[in-house]
Amino acid sequence: MQIKNVLLDLDNTILDFDTAERAAITKTLRALGIEPTDAIVKRYSEINMIFWEKLERGEINRRQTLVGRFAALFEELGVSVEAGLAEDMYENLLCIGHYFVPGAEELLETLHGKYRLYICSNGSKKVQDSRIASSGIAKYFAGIFISEEMGLNKPDKRYFEACFAQIPDFRRENSIMVGDSLTSDIRGARNAGLRSVWFNPAHKALTGDAAPDYEIDALEKLPILLAELSELSE
């Protein structure tokens, strides 16, 4: 069956979250009197990933994720700084501006009108709404599903089912999920019975049990793959 619905992750699939994160955490730490060395910024990113994966597994809630990552970092650094204050500063800075993943703008232009596009993101509503508005990409999408707003997170099957319920005439056979995260996007798609495309520009090794159906290392390869899948189904 021809592909009709393309569900796209946002961070590090369309918008470059790593660059935005680095800029925001650097400014946050500096404002708090902590020198943002490369090692500290790298360690924050590692801790952040650990906490988000805990959230994906349902071990902690969103607020515990957002504040806990800073509490853990400050404990390691041996500094006495209010984690909640750091989180508020960081989130406000993260809302400012945007950076595109290479090829993302061209991808959206190419896919728009040929497929119904949807954003499926685990990010915070305030941050994602701001970055989507700043980047001007909302016009390409038929729907935007932010986990905080929906009360569920990828890879929870219920998150995807809530998305499906808002997609007109939704059918799994003509839909596909595209994202960079094995733990949220690819595992989530599998949990929901959806085909998936792993966006893997860094050529990371496949780990865990969340194997994607397809893999690309550049966004410009996605339109070709979608066209091939549609041809195969004819």
CATH of region 17-94 = 1.10.150.240
Fold of the domain spanning 5-16+99-232: Rossmann fold (3.40.50)
Among candidate residues 9, 156, 180, 185, the one labeled active-site is 9
Residue 233 has pLDDT above 70, yes or no: no
Average pLDDT over every residue of 19-44: 96
CATH 1.10.150.240-classified regions of the chain: 17-94
Neighbours of 84 (CB within 10 A): 13
| Distances 86 to 56, 65, 81 between C-alpha atoms, Å | 22, 13, 8
CA-angle at 195, arms to 190 and 198, nearest 5°: 85
Average pLDDT over every residue of 40-45: 96
Q: How confident is the model at residue 208 (pLDDT cuts 50, 70, 90)?
A: confident
For this structure, is 9 an active site residue? yes
Average pLDDT, the chain: 95
CATH 3.40.50.1000-classified regions of the chain: 5-16+99-232
Tell me the pTM: 0.92
CA of residue 58 relative to chain centroid, distance: 17
Residue 1 has pLDDT above 90, yes or no: no
Residue 127 has pLDDT above 70, yes or no: yes
